[in-house]
């Protein structure tokens, strides 16, 4: 499997976003942007104007995670602005097929996210419409929360459904991903890892990305790991 690391700027300094993005530009694959509207989740972060501004100041592709109540209305705009991946939540979207297609038509990869309490099986039919499935490993809304091990069987199941479908769909985990928990995620079949605190809370964020990548890659190669 090819491991991808997507540092979340939720754990960076919002007043120095471009500087903090630069810290991981040489080692990260993506920059994960948590867009929260204070409605779908009880927290408010940044939106389209900040994403558009940041695009001009980082070479990293932006992975926009929309935790907003009306992704049907807003998701295509993030893709049109230049985000390389746009993930919407299954719990919030009204017309998933239309919105996922609109994201792709606007030039981005389309991601579909599910919360810890949302089963993955009902979304198997949507796999042809997505480029990445995001399985949340905390309740969305805040950084620095403890990883929920109870989600791991669902990560494994998601990998099975993706394998059955065929094609190249990435499986992302987000929330509480650290040097300690990333192994379990990789063994369960995840290949794209969001990490906020574990990267920007580290003394050397670039090195933290490399360590996470090496740990995940080793765990993904272990016998019994759900191959991606």
- Residues near ligand DX5 (CB under 6 A): 8, 10-11, 32, 34, 65, 138, 140-145, 174-177, 194-198
Query: Among residues 96 and 143, whose Cβ is nearest to ligand DX5?
Result: 143
Query: Among residues 123 and 147, whose Cβ is nearest to ligand DX5?
Result: 147
- Using CB under 5 A as the criterion, what x/- string covers residues 24-43 for binding Zn ion? ----------x---------
How far CA 164 is from CA of 94, 112, 113, 168, in Å, comes to 26, 18, 19, 11
Q: How many residues bind Zn ion (CB under 5 A)?
A: 3
Cα-only R_g, the chain: 16
User: What does the angle CA 53 – CA 132 – CA 200 come to, to the nearest 5 degrees?
Assistant: 50
Any residues with CB less than 8 A from the CB of 144 and at least 6 apart, and which? 11, 196, 197, 201
- Residue 52 to residue 193: CA distance in whole angstroms: 23
Minimum Å gap between C-beta 12 and Zn ion is: 13
89 binds Zn ion (CB under 5 A): no
Look up 174 and say whether it is catalytic.
yes
Interface residue list for Zn ion (CB under 5 A): 34, 65, 174
Question: Hey, which residues are catalytic here?
Answer: 34, 174
């Amino acid at each position: 499997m090819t491991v991808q690391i997507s540092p979340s700027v939720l754990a960076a300094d919002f007043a120095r976003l471009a500087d903090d993005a630069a810290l991981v530009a040489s080692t990260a694959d993506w920059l994960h942007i948590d867009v929260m509207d204070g409605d779908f989740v009880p927290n408010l972060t940044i939106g389209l104007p900040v994403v558009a501004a940041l695009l001009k100041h980082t070479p990293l592709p932006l992975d926009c995670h929309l935790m907003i109540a009306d992704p049907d209305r807003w998701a295509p705009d993030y893709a049109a602005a230049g985000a390389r991946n746009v993930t919407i939540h299954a719990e919030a979207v009204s017309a998933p097929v239309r919105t996922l297609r609109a994201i792709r038509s606007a030039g981005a990869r389309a991601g579909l996210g599910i919360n810890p309490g949302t089963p993955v099986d009902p979304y198997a039919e949507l796999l042809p419409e997505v480029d990445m499935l995001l399985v949340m490993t905390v309740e969305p809304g805040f950084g620095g929360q403890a990883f929920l091990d109870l989600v791991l069987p669902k990560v494994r199941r998601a990998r099975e459904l993706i394998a059955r479908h065929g094609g190249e769909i990435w499986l992302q985990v987000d929330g509480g991903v650290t040097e300690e928990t990333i192994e379990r995620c990789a063994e369960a079949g995840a290949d794209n890892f969001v990490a906020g605190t574990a990267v920007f809370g580290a003394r050397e964020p670039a090195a933290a990305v490399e360590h996470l990548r090496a740990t995940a890659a080793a765990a993904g190669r272990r016998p019994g790991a759900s191959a991606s």
